[in-house]
């Protein structure tokens, strides 16, 4: 009766999904790359709660380095890879 057509993803969707995939070292299924709704579901599933937390922001790093210089302490390497860990380190060393 009705013909169902799928809309292709927007260029913005594709760019964002590919950047997520690179950052998380994940693979986007080919079928999801051709369907706007499927790609949207893939993005929603991978943008939060992925295997890696986003790294510390540049402001966090600058502030932490200031604290580290003043207190003559080293910042653990894992803090640079996880914004939450960096935040905890800053709070503990203020």
Q: Please say whether the beta carbons of 9 and 22 come within 8 A.
A: no
Write the DSSP symbol of residue 9.
P
User: Residue 74: pLDDT above 60?
Assistant: yes
C-alpha to C-alpha distance for 25 and 17, rounded to whole angstroms: 12
Q: Please say whether the beta carbons of 35 and 61 come within 8 A.
A: no
3-50 pLDDT tens trace: 778 899 999 999 999 998 888 888 999 989 999 999 999 988 887 654
What is the model's pLDDT at position 13? Answer: 93
What is the model's pLDDT at position 72? Answer: 95
Tokens representing 18? 């590919």
Give the side-chain half-sphere CA count within 13 A for 67. 17
Q: Please say whether the beta carbons of 9 and 41 come within 8 A.
A: no
């Amino acid at each position: 009766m009705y013909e169902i057509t799928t809309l292709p993803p927007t260029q913005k969707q594709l760019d964002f999904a590919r950047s997520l995939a690179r950052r998380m070292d994940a693979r986007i299924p080919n079928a999801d790359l051709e369907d706007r709704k499927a790609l949207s579901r893939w993005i929603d599933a991978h943008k939060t709660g992925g295997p890696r937390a986003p790294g510390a922001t540049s402001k966090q790093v600058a502030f932490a380095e200031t604290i580290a210089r003043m207190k003559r302490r080293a910042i653990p390497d894992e803090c640079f890879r996880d914004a939450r860990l960096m935040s905890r380190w800053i709070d503990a060393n203020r």
